[in-house]
């Protein structure tokens, strides 16, 4: 399936429409992708590791092809229709609103509510024992990583390959979010989706980190160079370490990684600062992605 670059006017319109919030779940394409992935997982029957890999790869590949074909239908529409179709594949407004809600709960001193909001909107890990600084750190990390995954990456995919590539990317990213865990059931079945998501995010993660460094006037550069490979993901460490260095705070996950370890622990004020930094990095990334060649 040949790919045609997307219209920058459609990308800008999608970003403008994103400020209005998310469409209803009944017509949201990402919700539909999630339902498909849930359906595909319910039909896994393989017992050995190689068969599980094949089963998961087939489920991911079929979903990506279907998403790309749906995107192909929209690619023949005028740019303003493409912009409306691209909008649900982005999540800038939802991401920033969720992070701001966690910051608000921390500012009020309501740690249980901050934990609840963090778990509901931003992370899949157990948050029951997280301290206030750990909640703040997790919110900043999620903001940085998802600025790449949920905003920059789908925008870049659209500009490079139109709606088909943007839709296939979103299906892959959703599959990784649902299947990309090292549990007995998903260890092998989720590998194809996880590796494909890693590949598709190689450029967006580094572009997001670069825009973060530019937005902070290079303040995060030293930490980014040193810590960008500290996470198990080949991509997440790039924007997260750039944010850690730019904000001058320590980020990390217990037993997994630490970014900018010599810095102080973050608090609610740092989450607000992270949102300001994310706005600036987002603006630079949007400019880079939507400018005509």
What are 55's two structure tokens? 């089963």
The helix (H) or strand (E) run that includes residue 213 is: helix 202-215
User: Using CA atoms, how far apart are residues 257 and 168, in angstroms rounded to an integer?
Assistant: 30
How far is C-alpha 62 from the geometric centre of its chain's CA atoms? 22
Q: In whole angstroms, give the CA distance from residue 91 to residue 87.
A: 8
With respect to residue 1, please indicate whether it lies within any of the assigned structural domains.
no
In a domain, 2, yes or no: no
Distance between CA 75 and CA 68 in Å, rounded? Answer: 10
Is 157 in contact with 19 (CB distance < 8 Å)?
A: no
pLDDT tens for the chain, residues 1 to 293? 578 999 999 999 999 999 999 999 999 999 999 999 999 999 999 999 999 999 999 999 999 999 999 999 999 999 999 999 999 999 999 999 999 999 999 999 999 999 999 999 999 889 999 999 999 999 999 999 999 999 999 999 999 999 999 999 999 999 999 999 989 899 999 999 999 999 999 999 999 999 999 999 999 899 999 999 999 999 999 999 999 999 999 999 988 999 999 999 999 999 999 999 999 999 999 999 988 65
Q: Cα dist. 19→15, 100, 104, 232 in Å?
A: 7, 15, 20, 33
How many domains are contained in the chain? 1
- 98 part of a folded domain: yes
User: How far apart are alpha carbons 154 and 269 in whole angstroms?
Assistant: 29
Q: Is residue 45 part of a domain?
A: yes
Q: Which residues constitute the domain of residue 230? A: 8-290
Task: Single out the residue of 64, 108, 126, 142 nearest to residue 116, CA to CA.
Answer: 126
- Round to whole Å and give the CA distance between 172 and 46: 21
Please tell me the predicted confidence (pLDDT) of residue 293. 53
Q: Which residues contact 280 (CB under 8 A, 6 or more apart)?
A: 215, 216
User: Which pLDDT belongs to residue 290?
Assistant: 87
Residue 145 lies in a domain: yes
Q: Please report, for the chain, how many H helices and E strands are present, in that order.
A: 13, 2
Beta carbons within 8 Å of 138's beta carbon, 6+ residues apart: 118, 122, 123, 125, 127, 130, 253
- Give the DSSP letter of residue 122: T
* Cα Rg of the chain (Å, integer): 19
Candidates 98, 102, 120; CA nearest to 110 is 102
pLDDT for 291? 83
Token digits for 89? 């594949």
Q: Give the model's pLDDT for residue 292.
A: 66
Token readout for 227 is 């810590």
What pLDDT sits at residue 1?
A: 57
Is the residue at 133 inside a domain? yes
Which tokens go with 128? 């029951």
Q: What is the pLDDT of residue 187?
A: 92
Of 56, 22, 1, 3, nearest to 179 by C-alpha is 56
């Amino acid at each position: 399936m040949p790919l045609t670059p997307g219209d920058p006017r459609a990308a800008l319109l999608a970003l403008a429409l994103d400020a209005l919030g998310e469409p209803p779940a009944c017509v949201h394409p990402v919700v539909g992708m999630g339902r498909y992935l849930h359906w595909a997982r319910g039909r896994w029957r393989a017992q050995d590791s190689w068969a599980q890999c094949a089963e998961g790869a087939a489920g991911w590949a079929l979903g990506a092809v279907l998403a790309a074909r749906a995107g192909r239908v929209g690619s023949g529409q005028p740019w303003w229709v493409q912009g409306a179709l691209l909008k649900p594949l982005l999540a800038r407004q939802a991401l920033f609103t969720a992070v701001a809600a966690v910051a608000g709960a921390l500012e009020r001193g309501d740690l249980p509510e901050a934990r609840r909001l963090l778990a509901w909107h931003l992370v899949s890990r157990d948050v029951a024992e997280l301290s206030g600084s750990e909640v703040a750190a997790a919110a900043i990390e999620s903001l940085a990583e998802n600025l790449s995954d949920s905003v920059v990456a789908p925008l870049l995919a659209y500009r490079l390959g139109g709606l088909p590539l943007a839709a296939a990317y979103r299906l892959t990213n959703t599959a990784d979010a649902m299947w990309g865990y090292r549990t007995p059931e998903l260890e092998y079945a989720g590998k194809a989706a996880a590796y494909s998501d890693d590949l598709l995010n190689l450029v967006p993660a580094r572009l997001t980190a670069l825009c973060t460094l530019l937005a902070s006037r290079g303040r995060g550069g030293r930490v980014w160079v040193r810590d960008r490979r500290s996470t198990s993901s080949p991509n997440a460490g790039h924007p997260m370490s750039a944010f850690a260095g730019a904000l001058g705070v320590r980020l990390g996950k217990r037993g997994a990684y630490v970014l900018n370890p010599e810095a102080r622990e973050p608090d609610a004020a740092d989450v607000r600062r992270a949102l300001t930094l994310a706005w600036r990095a987002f603006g630079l990334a949007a400019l880079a992605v939507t400018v005509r060649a």
